[in-house]
Copies of this chain bind each other. A is one copy, B any other.
């Protein structure tokens, strides 16, 4: 359920794309999901999916030895939470961001599965200044209470 209006920004987090920063992302995302008063299982799912997307930036966006930032924008579009994650690394073909077949025994390749299993919509946008990659993930929440500020 999306509206025609541009979604409302909850917050924008910029952070060095490093493994030790992911817990900061989780802290923020947890608080953002809680703002929408959904149940705890959904909260955990959304935090996992966003973390996995950020992990991909940490692990894949920049060549080894090169430091770079990630930027996570969190928006609310009615009862849909929208996450826009961007990096400033080399452009990646959107097909790289589609999960392959899930192999329970594999040593990698699970991240994209988690993201696609959990989120309602996942897509690539073009960053406004044309550099880097911008992944958009949308998740409809089912608030227990009434959704607030649904304007």
Contacts and interface: CB of A to CB of B under 8 A. Distances in A.
Interface of A: 9-16, 20-21, 23-24, 26-28, 30-32, 34-35, 74, 148-149
Contacts of A34: 23, 27
Contact of A35 (B10, B13, B24, B74): B24
Contacts of A30: 27
A23 B90 CA distance: 34
Nearest to A35: B23
5 contacts: A12-B15, A20-B149, A23-B34, A27-B34, A28-B28
A27 to B, nearest CB: 3
B31 A26 contact: yes
